[in-house]
Amino acid sequence: MRLTGKIMAVIAMIAMPLTADAQIAVTDSIMPERIVVKSSQYGITSLNNLDTYLSGYDFKGMGLYYSHENFRDARTGSYRWKYQTVFSGSLGYAELGNNTQIAGLATYQWSGYHPFTVNSRLKLLAGVQIQLEGGALYIPNNGNNPVSLKLRTALAATGMAIYHFPVKGKDWVARYQIDIPLAGVMFAPEFGQSYYEIFNEKKSDGTVAFSNPFNCPSWKHTLSLDIPIRYKRHSTTLRLSYVADFYQSEINDIRCHIYRHAFTFGFVKTILKVKEENKIKAYSPY
């Protein structure tokens, strides 16, 4: 009977909707150690790429965009923190006259936030972020230098605003996030320096550069809306997102910008992780 009671308690917790202040109700008999919100997003993105290592002109086109986010509640010492990991990637095709460009980029972000509750609907978060990015721009008919590799890592400042508002008795959630790289290192060959010289002839001096907001002014905006929907007896949450990612750099006489505007959709999954020992009261990260 005790096991049946615990199972019923977990089912009740999963079925229970969010309250106005986004707190998940728990019972004394069983408490989730933390709550993890996961979401996978799919969509399309517009591209505007310039890399003077390859060409002095902008290439514009479209591509596919994917992202996966984990957002969870955690306790560190006497303070409550929010942790976020985001993997995103795009693969696109751009054109300039008769020339074509293939662009592939992947980014991993780990963020730690401290929340500040303004009221029962609005929550602000501020924190730090570690960024890892890799990819390439490829122009097939570009002669000796058809590829420009993109490898960088950076420490960034990040902030978030989460707002709950009721629509027909359901809890909709709007979220805005901004990420601004502050300092990092990146792969940056000299203008005209071929990869054959760098990797085969070992002439790699100066190809690692330090980045900062002056030589690499970049930022990323993410705006999302979580919409609870119900179909027959099933309930889920639809997420619609807009991502504006602006990367720019001017290092070693090479100018580069990669501008992406992505519109995505996906579904949100909430996971309650239960552990009997060291019970803590869990809240929704939102």
3-state DSSP assignment of residue 3: helix
User: For residues 198 and 116, what is the distance between their CA atoms, to the nearest angstrom?
Assistant: 48
- The answer to whether residue 100 sits within a structural domain is yes
How many domains, the chain? 1
> What amino acid is encoded at 106 in this protein?
A
Q: Which structural domain, as residue segments, surrounds residue 126?
A: 39-272
Let me know how long the chain is. Answer: 286
Give, in degrees to the nearest 5, the angle at Cα 149 between 146 and 151: 175
Higher pLDDT, 157 or 117: 157
Q: Which two tokens stand for residue 35?
A: 């709550």
Q: What is the mean pLDDT of residues 155-171?
A: 94
Give, in degrees to the nearest 5, the angle at Cα 128 between 256 and 275: 130
- The answer to whether residue 197 sits within a structural domain is yes
User: For residues 76 and 96, what is the distance between their CA atoms, to the nearest angstrom?
Assistant: 51
3-state DSSP assignment of residue 26: coil
Nearest CA-CA partner of 3 in 23, 29, 24, 31: 29
* Residue 197 backbone phi and psi in degrees, to 5: -65, -40
User: For residues 220 and 177, what is the distance between their CA atoms, to the nearest angstrom?
Assistant: 8
Q: What pLDDT was estimated at residue 34?
A: 66
| Own/partner long-range contacts of 96-102 (Cβ < 8 Å, ≥24 apart) | 96/55, 96/57, 96/58, 96/59, 96/60, 99/55, 99/59, 99/139, 99/141, 99/142, 100/139, 100/140, 100/141, 101/49, 101/54, 101/59, 101/61, 101/137, 101/138, 101/139, 102/137, 102/138, 102/139, 102/140
Q: What is the mean pLDDT of residues 109-128?
A: 94
User: For residues 281 and 34, what is the distance between their CA atoms, to the nearest angstrom?
Assistant: 8
Paired residues of 237 in beta bridges: 228, 268
Paired residues of 262 in beta bridges: 45, 243
Between strands 59-76 and 99-117, the pairing is unpaired
Q: What confidence tier does 194 reach under pLDDT thresholds 50, 70, 90?
A: confident
Question: What is the largest distance, in Å, between two alpha-carbon atoms of the chain?
Answer: 75
Among the residue ranges 127-131, 152-156, 171-175, 192-196, the one predicted with the least confidence is 192-196
Q: What pLDDT was estimated at residue 7?
A: 42
Higher pLDDT, 240 or 204: 240
- The answer to whether residue 31 sits within a structural domain is no
Higher pLDDT, 165 or 27: 165
Q: Which two tokens stand for residue 231?
A: 């179909």
- The answer to whether residue 124 sits within a structural domain is yes
- The answer to whether residue 281 sits within a structural domain is no
Computed over every residue of the chain, the mean pLDDT equals 84
- The answer to whether residue 211 sits within a structural domain is yes
Q: Is the pLDDT of residue 279 over 60?
A: no
Report the Cα 275 to chain-centroid distance in Å. 28
Q: Which helix (H) or strand (E) holds 101?
A: strand 99-117
Q: What pLDDT was estimated at residue 31?
A: 46
Q: What is the mean pLDDT of residues 125-154?
A: 94
User: For residues 172 and 226, what is the distance between their CA atoms, to the nearest angstrom?
Assistant: 6
DSSP string, 52-90: TTT-SS-EEEEEEEEEEEEEEEEEETTEEEEEEEEEEEE
- The answer to whether residue 190 sits within a structural domain is yes
Other beta carbons less than 10 A from residue 139's beta carbon: 21
What would the pLDDT profile of 49-85 be if each residue is shown by its tens digit?
999 999 999 999 999 999 999 998 876 555 578 899 9
- The answer to whether residue 184 sits within a structural domain is yes
CATH number of the domain bearing residue 208: 2.40.128
Q: What is the mean pLDDT of residues 258-270?
A: 95
Q: Which two tokens stand for residue 169?
A: 């008795």
